[in-house]
């Protein structure tokens, strides 16, 4: 098992994991047009230009990923995903902790997740994130915004 920075050649594998991982979210909200499911390979490749993308591998196979980028001292965390067959093993938590190490000068970490995604919310709370607002921003889904002060 290893967490490392992903490279552009990993984009296709990350997209496959993303589609498989986020289908449960789509089912939960009865909305299959959520951004992680409609994102294209080209869009993920663009993210490599401006974001840190980490991958979690087992025997050289990617089973999880997370993205982050810094703006004005805030790290915005995006697209935490773990293949459904590998969930509930602490991989998501490990990815989050490693991502935070890539942004040691950030005073704050910020993310959002669906308000019905109780497992995600529990995970983020377990590593120090606190909810600061709930808002409907897109896809007719209510999102919980969470932050962690560094």
For residue 6, the domain's CATH number is 3.40.630.30
Domains identified in the chain, total number: 1
C-alpha–C-alpha distance, residues 23 and 28, integer Å = 9
pLDDT in tens, 111-133: 999 999 999 999 999 999 999 99
pLDDT at 133: 97
Residue-number span of the structural domain to which 145 is assigned: 2-149
The pLDDT mean for the chain works out to: 95
Q: Give residues with Cβ within 8 angstroms of 130, minimum separation 6.
A: 146, 147, 148
Give residue 141's pLDDT band: very low, low, confident or very high (50, 70, 90). Answer: confident
C-alpha–C-alpha distance, residues 17 and 80, integer Å = 11
pLDDT in tens, 9-57: 999 999 999 999 999 999 988 888 899 999 999 999 999 999 999 999 9
User: CA torsion 24→26→32→37, rounded to 10°?
Assistant: -70
Checking if the pLDDT of 1 tops 90, the result is no
- Residue with token string 């490990």: 94
In the 8-state DSSP scheme, what is residue 30? Answer: T
pLDDT in tens, 54-72: 999 999 999 999 999 999 9
């Amino acid at each position: 098992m290893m967490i490392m920075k992903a490279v552009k050649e990993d984009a296709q594998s990350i997209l496959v994991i993303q589609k498989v991982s986020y289908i449960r979210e789509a089912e939960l909200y009865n909305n299959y047009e959520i951004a992680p499911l409609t994102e294209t390979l080209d869009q993920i490749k663009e993210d490599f230009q401006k974001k840190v993308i980490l991958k979690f591998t087992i025997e050289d196979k990617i089973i999880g990923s997370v993205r982050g980028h810094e703006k004005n001292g805030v790290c915005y965390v995006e697209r935490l995903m773990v293949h459904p067959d590998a969930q509930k093993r602490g991989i998501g938590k490990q990815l989050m902790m490693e991502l935070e190490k890539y942004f040691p000068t950030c005073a704050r970490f910020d993310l959002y997740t669906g308000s019905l995604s109780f497992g995600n919310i529990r995970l983020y709370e377990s590593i120090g994130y606190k909810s600061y607002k709930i808002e409907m921003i897109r896809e007719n889904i209510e999102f919980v915004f969470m932050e962690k002060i560094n």
